[in-house]
């Protein structure tokens, strides 16, 4: 359990003992949608749910209704994240928010010397809150922006940060869309005496929807190219797809290239009137436990 929990901390959460010049607050990269997770987070050019603006705030510009979603994410047996997303509109302006609360429990505290028994235990807590807006400047183009606040406490240390996301969304035709976003620009959180960058990234996305009444009716394919840390990190590719049967049953899958541990995602969903339930199962390499995620969405 200890080995898995420590691996989670270094892979998915920020660490104040990271190398100088590295990034922190890695929990800001954990998406807010089971639908997106099952599709490999290839979501920069996808809209249709309240979690999509997490990846590209401009994607909300093509949504006409309102939606609220609640997500529960379990990493291993000691870590969890709870998330709330909401989206509405006022005239042509789309407005929304995203909030997440995460925890990794029962780290063993030890001193500088090996010992058979720990000195005690401690938890890691993180919190992020963002508000976003999107505006369709033309029938094809939308722009968007998110403003966020983030906090993390790890044992005796804690840090806060402010950040922003910028995005554009272009609808080429009813079937093809492109999206781009710059995420996590902002202040440097400071743990004790050292400051670290936020996990900045550039995302470029493409999506294709099958035309109604065609052989591909109900099919969605998407791909994202991701450049972390302004090119200081290795680029990544996310691929994903969805099949929508009569807006009632959804089947989804995705794959990630260029990641240390992430690989395959699968999942699906059910819809009944205004209620949607989405599920994702994420497979990790290197003996890390696989991940379950469930989201409840309500369209208003």
CATH code assigned at 207: 2.40.160.60
- How far are the Cα atoms of 185, 186, 190, 197, 255 from residue 194, in angstroms, in the given order? 18, 16, 5, 10, 35
What pLDDT is attached to residue 15?
36
Taking only the tens place, the pLDDT of each residue in 250-278 is 999 999 999 888 889 999 999 999 999 99
- What pLDDT, on the 0 to 100 scale, is given for residue 13? 39
Domain range spanning residue 228? Answer: 2-299
**Domains of the chain: total:** 1
Taking Cα atoms as reference points, which of 147, 160, 151 lies closest to residue 190?
160
pTM of the entire structure? 0.87
What is the reported pLDDT for 128?
96
User: From the CB of residue 242, how many other CB atoms can be counted at a distance below 10 Å?
Assistant: 24
Q: How far is the C-alpha of 65 from the C-alpha of 46, rounded, in Å?
A: 15
Q: pLDDT tens digit string along 95-149?
A: 999 999 988 776 666 666 666 676 667 678 899 999 999 999 999 999 999 999 9
Mean predicted confidence (pLDDT) in 194-208: 93
């Amino acid at each position: 359990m200890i080995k898995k929990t420590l691996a989670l901390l270094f892979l998915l959460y920020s660490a104040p003992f990271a190398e100088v010049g590295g990034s922190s607050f890695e929990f800001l990269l954990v998406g807010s949608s089971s639908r997106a997770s099952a599709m490999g987070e290839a979501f920069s050019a996808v809209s249709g749910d309240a979690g999509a603006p997490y990846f590209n705030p401009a994607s909300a510009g093509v949504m006409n209704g309102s939606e609220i979603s609640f997500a529960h994410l379990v990493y291993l047996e000691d870590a969890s994240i709870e998330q709330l997303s909401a989206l509405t509109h006022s005239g042509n302006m789309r407005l929304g928010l995203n909030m997440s609360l995460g925890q990794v429990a029962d780290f063993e505290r030890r001193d500088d010397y090996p010992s058979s028994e720990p000195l005690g235990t401690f938890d890691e807590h993180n919190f992020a809150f963002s508000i976003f807006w999107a505006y369709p400047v033309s029938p094809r183009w939308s722009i968007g922006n998110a403003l966020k606040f983030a906090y993390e406490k790890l044992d005796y240390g804690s840090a806060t940060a402010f950040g922003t996301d910028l995005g554009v969304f272009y609808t080429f035709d009813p079937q093809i869309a492109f999206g781009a976003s710059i995420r996590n620009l902002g202040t440097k959180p400071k743990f004790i005496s050292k400051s670290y960058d936020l996990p900045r990234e550039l995302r470029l996305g493409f999506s294709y929807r099958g035309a109604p009444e065609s052989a591909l009716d109900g099919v969605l394919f998407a791909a994202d190219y991701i450049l972390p840390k302004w090119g200081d990190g290795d680029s990544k590719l996310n691929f994903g797809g969805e099949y929508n049967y009569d807006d009632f049953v959804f089947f989804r899958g995705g794959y990630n290239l260029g990641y240390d541990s992430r690989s395959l995602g699968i999942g699906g969903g059910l819809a009944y009137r205004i209620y949607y339930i989405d599920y994702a199962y994420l497979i990790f390499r290197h003996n890390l436990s696989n991940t379950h995620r469930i989201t409840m969405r309500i369209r208003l």
